[in-house]
Amino acid sequence: MGVIGWILLGFLAGVIAKAVAPGDERGGCILTTLLGIGGALLGGFIASLLDLGDPIDEFFDLSTWLAAIIGAVVILVVWRAISNRRG
């Protein structure tokens, strides 16, 4: 998957993660994209630790999208827990 694919996957996964776990986070397209890219990396890492194969391999693969969205939701929940503790 190329750089444009990672950016597009990251943005869409970030948007879906924010819709699944709505909250009052601010952040535009760039932060949403970074959330999704980080989620894809986290989801792929966790899947490889659990020996579930390589879920982040093709753009149109369901496992790629599931790993990215689940990873982004995890990052979003952790971010909320940390930010609520500070504020």
Q: Which two tokens stand for residue 6?
A: 């990672």
Is the full-model pTM beyond 0.75?
yes
In this prediction, residues 41-65 reach a mean pLDDT of: 80
Residue 20 confidence (pLDDT) above 80: yes
Read off the pLDDT of each residue in 54-73 and give the average, rounded to a whole number: 82
Mean pLDDT of 4-32: 85
At residue 56, the pLDDT reads: 67
Other beta carbons within 10 Å of 74: 17
Main-chain phi, psi angles of 4, to 5 degrees: -65, -40
